[in-house]
Amino acid sequence: MNFIITVLLNIVFSWSINDYIIIDTIEFKVVKKGNSDRKFIWLHGDEQTAKMALEHHINKYGGTAFFIMNNLRDVEFHGGLIDPNRIFSSYGAKRNIHKYNPHWPATKKQQLLDGLNKDRPSFLKAIFPTNGGLLIALHNNYKGYNVHEEVAISDSISIKKDQNPRDFYLCTNREDFELLAKSPFNVVLQENSPKKDNGSLSWAAIDNNVRYINIETRLGWLSMQKRMLAYIEKNLQ
């Protein structure tokens, strides 16, 4: 009986935790299954639908996933807070540190910024795919954020009248956009770096010529996020 239970558990949870990676004090669990070179990342701990969708997808299709070790949107950072999706450029991280910790002395802010700047290249090297591979981030929204807020800074858009604007793809590669524009889902393309980026992973992907797609859905709409993930898996190389 114990043997049968062990086999069933291995079938259901057939991924392996290979390692942990850290940028400064922000820790991510690395989960890998199979030989796929596709990479995924979950950045905000309060967006639990995205986490569940990624766990399901990695178990079914394989790849390497990075799960933040945190249950809230913002993470504890040297006695203060920081948004983990606003640390991927020096300019964005500097603004982020000040936004959440305005009372800190300038010397402490600079010291912590230096730490992020030091760790960032090796962290990005770990999460960015090679040889033209794809990095997929998963996010959820619950405060009204929607695709229309991205239109002004997008290079191309494909917004479907019958789709909720809070569910959409954001991609950085034009070929990916052209394929996703044929999908039933909303999609925007952002392929040019902004003059003043906010430190988000999408802008870092643009700067490093990495194919990146964010799958943004409403919090709680697990079936939608699973479908959007599956569409990428079946239609993008």
What integer pLDDT is reported at residue 35 of this predicted model?
A: 86
- The full set of domain ranges for the chain reads 2-235
Q: What is the mean pLDDT of residues 207-232?
A: 97
What integer pLDDT is reported at residue 9 of this predicted model?
A: 33
Q: What is the mean pLDDT of residues 211-230?
A: 98
DSSP secondary-structure letter at 104? S
Where are the alpha helices (H) located in 195-237, listed in sequence order? 201-207, 222-235
CATH number for region 2-235: 3.40.630
What integer pLDDT is reported at residue 120 of this predicted model?
A: 98
The token pair at 222 is 């697990």
Compare 175 and 16 and report the one with higher pLDDT.
175
- Looking at every residue in the chain, the average pLDDT score rounds to 92
Contact indicator for 215, 222 with CB cutoff of 8 Å:
no
Task: Determine the angle formed by the axes of helices 222-235 and 48-61, rounding to 10 degrees.
Answer: 40
Compare 13 and 201 and report the one with higher pLDDT.
201
pTM of the model: 0.91
Q: What are phi and psi of 123, to 5 degrees?
A: -65, -45
Contact indicator for 17, 65 with CB cutoff of 8 Å:
no
DSSP secondary-structure letter at 83? -
How far, in Å, CA of 178 to CA of 102, rounded?
A: 43
Q: What percent of the chain stands above pLDDT 90? A: 86
